[in-house]
Every structure is written in C-alpha cells, then in structure tokens.
Amino acid sequence: MPRSLFMTLIVAGLAAAALGYGWSASSSAVTGPGTIRLTSREISRTRIDLGRPGRGVGDTEIVKHNLFNLRLRSKPLGRAEYVCTYTTSFARACTVTIFMPRGRLIAGGSIRYNDVYELAVLGGTRLYDDARGTVTVIRTTRRPRRHIMLFRLTG
C-alpha cells in the first residue's frame, strides 16, 4: 500500500472516530436535540421599588435559585439567577442565567404568572455553546418556592 494512501486512511479513521465521540475542531458544544430536567429551590428574592410603593412599571426583581438533579446527587449542581423588570404591575421581562458545571445557559422572555411559564433559551457557553430551545418552569410548592425546570434544547 502506498504511504500516501495509508496516511489518508489513518486520517480518515481518526476523523471518523472523533465524530463518533462527538468531538469537533471548532467547538465542544452539545449538538442536536436534548432534554434536561432539573428542580430548583429559591434561595433569595430582592425587589427594587421605583416610583410609587408596590409593584409597578420599571421595578426590578432579582431572584436566585439552587438547581438540583436528585437522581445524581443531593447537593446543588448549579444555580439560576433571574433579573426581571416589571412592564406592568404583573408582567415582567426577564433574563435568566443558568450556571451548570459544564457551562451556562441564557434564557429570556416575559413572565406574567409564577405558577407556569416558558422562556426561550437564547444561547449558552462551553458545553451549551450553540443551545437554542425553551425552558418550561412549573412551580411545585410556594413555601419554600420550588420548581421543575424542563429544558428542551434543539441545537
């Protein structure tokens, strides 16, 4: 076998192996659809009241949650930080940063009701570099505030 053909086969084999293990020369991000199910527990909530007392347009709310996957471990595996600005006395425009062990996810959108809402996954870093999709949040208890967070990632 000629040396050039042998080297071509080796390079092709290595490339096929890298693709098989999900390696990429440009990114180590997750590709393709996937679902992540987490539970959260609120650890702090701060409201910044502008103008008249009580909720109103322009008021800001900062909420922090610990994130869990109890199937894996009992300690928090990450956290979520919400920054929301009230657009009416009930509706808020929110940006959420979800800190996970292998990267961050960024989500955003409007929240009117705290019991159930859906936000767009706008992107991420490291493992979630090309993330897109949605996160549905369902409140399970009021005191303490706990939620199920279901991420449906498309890319």
**β-pair type (60-68, 116-124):** unpaired
**CATH code at position 79:** 2.40.480.10
Q: What is the mean pLDDT of the chain?
A: 83
pLDDT on residue 155: 75
Domain of 109? 31-153
Question: Do residues 7 and 40 both lie within one domain?
Answer: no
**Is the domain of 81 the same as that of 60?**
yes
Which residues lie closer than 8 Å to 90 by C-beta, 6 or more apart?
55, 112
- Note whether 36 and 22 are same-domain residues: no
42-55 per-position pLDDT tens digit: 999 999 999 888 89
Structural domain count, the chain: 2
Q: Tens digit of pLDDT for each residue in 90-130? A: 999 999 999 999 999 999 999 999 999 999 999 999 999 98
CB 97 within 8 A of CB 79: no
For residues 77 and 107, state if they share a domain.
yes
Percent of the chain with pLDDT over 70: 79
DSSP β-bridge partners for residue 8: none
